[in-house]
Chain A
Amino acid sequence: MRPLQKLFVISLVLMLLNVTACGTVAGINQTGVVLALGVDPGPSGQLLWTFMFPNPTITPSSEASVKPSEEFYTLQSYASSLVQAAEKISMLTDRHVYLGDIQVVAVSSHIGSRELVHVIHLLINTGDFPPRAWLTIASPSGEAVLKVSPPEEVVPTVFLGSYFSCQICHAIQLETRVWQVWDDLLVPSHTAVIPLSTVKGNKVQVNGSIWLTPTHIVECGRKRTLYWAMAMGKYRAGTLAIDNNRVVAEGVRIASHRWILVSSRHMVSRWIITLHGHWQSVNTGFKETSYDNLAEKMVLRHVLEIYQLAVEQHVDPFGVLNQVVWTTSGKAIMPRAEVTVLCHIAATARTE
């Protein structure tokens, strides 16, 4: 290699080392890793942002002796946007606040629809924030939900993060991610279904949901949420009680198949809902066929009831309008629903 080439290569290497900008990366001792985020209404159009961090004093050996309430700590700041709030917390703690590991976002149930949509857009457009984080509506507040930490959770997983990740831990699958909510508001249905987490004593219960549209919110209690889950095939491995709780089916999985039928005169949303599971035939004189019939009628009633509610409230938490717009040339109007429920719940064969 000629001297000039050598000089060129050496200066090139030196220059490349200097332009990688690796010098600006903060070490772990200077980084505050946010595990969960709470959003509550604040004064004069601002929001109260609650950042939940793992307790940095916890080590593998001390983990067993630390109380659940001491495993995490929260810091709060009023700001109009997430980045401004993170900046304030950075100044307060003298640490770089890292948002890339946020597992769950809890937004207060006292925030209106327009502001909630605004929060979703703020989150999606924040560079470090992972849009795949779970989203929940929090009652009474985002801060209250984050502060409850059941003893079974250990750093670095947070309760709601692992709750929504688990597909077999609960019967109703309500989980939704921030990007899905953002997307649900863009597609023709313009409705996102977000789980509602409520603080009860020292526990958090996920027992309801809200239907969010760009203009309004419809709150759904435990029953309506259950009916919606039945209609959408989100009910898996639960129980189903009929005949005043005298007969129970276990391991019930409800499948839902929905499409649009168009004829020359009208359009129909056609749903086939199928129940799978096992009857607990503990009563004498168990009649499987009649119980099948009862279960079908009950689910049908619930599904039609929830569909009627959605039509009355001008929301579409079922994605029917997506199917109307994408599969037909019709207008985005909620069509009549034709629902068939099929019961394939088999009797257990262990005893007669």
Chain B
Amino acid sequence: MILRTRFEPMGIFEYSTILIAAYVAGGVYVWPRYLCLMAGQNGAVALGLSGAWGLLIFLGIVFWANKTPGNTVYQKLVFTVGSTTARVVITVVGIMTMGYLALVGALYIAVLTTVVIPGHRAWTLGLVLVIYLLWLSTRPPISVVRLFTLTIPGLTVLTLITLALGIHNAQFPNALRPHWPMNWTVIGSATISGTYFWVPILPLATAVAMVRRKFRRKILRATVWTVCIQIGLLFMLYAVAVVTLGPEGVAGSTWPIVFVFENIDLSNFFISEIGLGVAIIWTVSFIGFIAWHIWHQGLLLQYMGPKCLNRHYKLAIITAVAIVGGMALQASLDPKQLETLLLNDLAPLNFWVTSLWVGVVMGITLWKQRVKKIDR
């Protein structure tokens, strides 16, 4: 079997946009509600703790990927823990990733068909997105990365402009303060549920391998910056929702951020439909993000899947995601149930599984480094 494991390399900026793109797809429009439902006013504390976990996991993966030979996460895992364990890790995390993509996809379609284009049937939009995805995920990965370099900075600027406009509706600056005494049990649960955001983490190791050699030294620093930007954006979105609606209002609205953006009045501004611009560019970035993951899952299936799937692996992945997404949509278009699946069931599983495998590969890498030093 000949695998295409040599990819067109990329620079630090391209690498950073891949990391930042996660905030587009991560269902940020549902997260604030759940944080406020679980931790009330202390949702910000839970968000900070989830972010700290995300940063640690990212740094762990980048450190390990940088020190380990191999062009893909599979090759690096085989080098570190052996073929059998690598297959187990990739299968478990791969299934979680597909579940995540399907759920956020179903949620995104639910948001679009309720708020942006109300009254349209969800399956038609889902079909269009799946077809576009199918095409985009068959392109070389650098195509999606270049799409990100166009859409992610634009989307980030648009999001910041919208946030700045949204501050006009801020009513409750006090609501953002941490509340004493803190109930650490509920904050802990909210923190773990918030880690759903970092479920699709495997392609990061492959992305590290795709960065040009002369930039490899800068990867760790770039990762810290990028994750901080990502968490900063999430925090800003959360903060605007809470100071506008209060924790009780955020918990009471289905999509707090969409609701806050929807209520921005631009009647005196020269752009009257900024929301439509955000929705279009957001959708393009969202599809790019999923296409990147589909491509990566396809790559992993090339190593691990049955031979009959080798030629149609991407079709297989997209079919699997679409089936799970379709089931989620069919089961219920009620976003609350989709959120429960994502935040109550998938997030805790991901928290323990990811903490375990990243911790183990980090530990092994550090131990190998120490042994090397002693040998010298």
Q: Is the CB of B249 within 8 A of A327?
A: no
A8 to chain B minimum Cβ distance, whole angstroms, is 10
Q: Is the CB of A326 within 8 A of B177?
A: yes
What are 26 A-B contacts defined by CB distance under 8 Å?
A12-B131, A15-B131, A20-B124, A21-B120, A21-B124, A127-B114, A128-B118, A131-B259, A132-B262, A132-B263, A132-B265, A180-B171, A182-B249, A183-B245, A183-B246, A187-B246, A187-B248, A187-B249, A188-B248, A322-B246, A326-B41, A326-B174, A326-B246, A327-B174, A327-B177, A329-B180
Task: Compute the total of residue contacts between A and B using a CB distance below 8 Å.
Answer: 66
Q: Is the CB of A131 within 8 A of B249?
A: no
- List chain A residues, Cβ under 8 A from B179: 326, 329
Point out the residue from A15, A131, A186 that lies within 8 Å of B262, measured CB to CB: A131
A131–B41 Cα distance when bound, in Å, is 24
A19 within 8 A of B: yes
Q: Is the CB of A20 within 8 A of B128?
A: yes
Tally A residues with Cβ within 8 Å of B: 27
Q: Is the CB of B246 within 8 A of A179?
A: no
B306 within 8 A of A: no
B336 within 8 A of A: no
Question: Quick one: closest B residue to A189, CB to CB?
Answer: B246
Segment 123-170 of A: residues with Cβ below 8 Å from B: 127-128, 130-132, 165
A180–B179 Cα distance when bound, in Å, is 24
Q: Is the CB of A19 within 8 A of B128?
A: yes
Q: Is the CB of B128 within 8 A of A186?
A: no
- List chain A residues, Cβ under 8 A from B124: 19-21
- List chain A residues, Cβ under 8 A from B174: 322-323, 326-327
Question: Quick one: closest A residue to B244, CB to CB?
Answer: A183
- List chain A residues, Cβ under 8 A from B268: 165
A342–B135 Cα distance when bound, in Å, is 68
A165–B268 Cα distance when bound, in Å, is 10
Q: Is the CB of B119 within 8 A of A127?
A: yes
Question: Quick one: closest A residue to B264, CB to CB?
Answer: A132
Q: Is the CB of B128 within 8 A of A16?
A: yes
A236 within 8 A of B: no
A287 to chain B minimum Cβ distance, whole angstroms, is 40
Point out the residue from B128, B175, B249 that lies within 8 Å of A326, measured CB to CB: B175
Question: Quick one: closest B residue to A100, CB to CB?
Answer: B118
- List chain B residues, Cβ under 8 A from A186: 245-246, 248-249, 252
Chain B residues with a Cβ under 8 A of chain A: 41, 114, 118-121, 124, 127-128, 131, 171-172, 174-175, 177, 179-181, 245-249, 252, 259, 262-265, 267-268
- List chain A residues, Cβ under 8 A from B259: 131, 179
A278 within 8 A of B: no
A139–B137 Cα distance when bound, in Å, is 61
A35 to chain B minimum Cβ distance, whole angstroms, is 13
Question: Quick one: closest A residue to B172, CB to CB?
Answer: A322
Q: Is the CB of A179 within 8 A of B263?
A: yes
Question: Quick one: closest B residue to A161, CB to CB?
Answer: B267
A177 within 8 A of B: yes
Chain A residues with a Cβ under 8 A of chain B: 12, 15-16, 19-21, 24, 127-128, 130-132, 165, 177, 179-180, 182-183, 186-188, 319, 322-323, 326-327, 329
Task: Knowing A131-B262, A186-B248, A186-B249, say if A21 contacts B131 (CB, 8 Å).
Answer: no
A128–B171 Cα distance when bound, in Å, is 25
Question: Quick one: closest A residue to B127, CB to CB?
Answer: A19
Task: Knowing A20-B124, A21-B120, A21-B124, say if A187 contacts B263 (CB, 8 Å).
Answer: no
- List chain A residues, Cβ under 8 A from B267: 165
A43–B246 Cα distance when bound, in Å, is 37
- List chain A residues, Cβ under 8 A from B247: 326
A28 to chain B minimum Cβ distance, whole angstroms, is 17
Task: Knowing A20-B124, A127-B118, A186-B246, say if A326 contacts B131 (CB, 8 Å).
Answer: no
A186–B172 Cα distance when bound, in Å, is 13
Question: Quick one: closest B residue to A16, CB to CB?
Answer: B128
- List chain A residues, Cβ under 8 A from B252: 186
A274–B252 Cα distance when bound, in Å, is 36
A329–B181 Cα distance when bound, in Å, is 7
Report the 8 A-B pairs with minimum CB-CB distance, sorted nearest first: A187-B246, A19-B124, A183-B249, A127-B118, A186-B248, A326-B174, A132-B263, A21-B120
B45 to chain A minimum Cβ distance, whole angstroms, is 14
A149 to chain B minimum Cβ distance, whole angstroms, is 20
A128–B127 Cα distance when bound, in Å, is 24
Q: Is the CB of A177 within 8 A of B263?
A: yes
- List chain A residues, Cβ under 8 A from B181: 329
- List chain B residues, Cβ under 8 A from A16: 128, 131
- List chain B residues, Cβ under 8 A from A327: 174, 177
Q: 12 new A-B pairs (CB below 8 Å) besides A127-B114, A186-B246? A: A19-B127, A21-B124, A130-B262, A132-B262, A132-B263, A132-B264, A132-B265, A165-B268, A183-B245, A322-B174, A323-B174, A327-B174
B220 to chain A minimum Cβ distance, whole angstroms, is 39
B180 to chain A minimum Cβ distance, whole angstroms, is 6
A16–B172 Cα distance when bound, in Å, is 45
| Residue from the set A128, A182, A187 with the largest chain B CB neighbour count within 10 Å | A187
Question: Quick one: closest A residue to B124, CB to CB?
Answer: A19
